[in-house]
Amino acid sequence: MRSFRAENVSLLVKQLLDLESAEAKQTLLKVNDKYPIAITRNFSKAKQWLREKARGSERYGIVVSSQAQRLKPHAIDVKSPMDPIHWFLDGKEDVRSSYYLEDVATEFHVQGLELDWACVTWDADFRYGRKGWEHWSFCGDRWNHIKKQERQNYLKNAYRVLLTRARQGMVIVVPEGDPIDPTRNQAFYDPTFNYLKDIGIQVI
């Protein structure tokens, strides 16, 4: 069952990132019964979903791209160091643990490691656009296009890592953005949310 789930989730993530939406829809139908996936614009709903899904000591936590630098309004700062030992091993009563849903892990922290349930938070660094995925890096007061193919591939792979960390299921948060904040324009986020929703991922 574990192998079946892992193979199908990996295939789904590959199809999703490769913009094979028709194929992703079909794979999602195979995955859904054994591996719940949800999407939301609301962090509180995502956290509640994780807590309701997890049983006993099943571990859950928030994972984000290391380039996700405009999540600070949601109390997520990727430049604020977390301690992987406490995050992965400490219990629900410890504020440093993944269970507390305060400290977040990036692709660097979770490479090769797994959670039972994950909240993948999607920032505007890797966003869906009219021609497919767009790659951005935030510097100073603005997002800048990533033009080097090597860096584009790295960013895409970072999201592949984040989307394949959960053994049991995951919820994806695509923030709504803010119309008065030019660094978090709603247009940076809405197309990504709509793309994932149109594949058939359940909205909560």
* Per-residue pLDDT band at 111 (split at 50, 70, 90): confident
**Nearest Cα to 64, choosing from 45, 90, 82?**
82
118-135 core/surface letters (b: 16 or more CB in 10 A; e: else) = bbbbbbbbbbbeeeebbb
Q: How far apart are the first and last CA of the chain?
A: 26
Structural domains of the chain, count: 1
SS3 201: coil
Q: Domain range for residue 149? A: 2-203
pTM: 0.94
Contact 168, 117 (CB under 8 A): yes
Q: Which sign does the torsion angle of CA 116, 16, 12, 158 carry?
A: negative
Question: Using one digit for the tens of pLDDT, what is the confidence trace for 124-135?
Answer: 999 999 999 999
The pLDDT tens digits for 15-60 are 999 999 999 999 999 999 899 999 999 999 999 999 999 999 999 9
What does pLDDT average to over the chain?
94
Which pLDDT does position 23 carry in this prediction? 98
Q: CATH no. for residue 67? A: 3.40.50
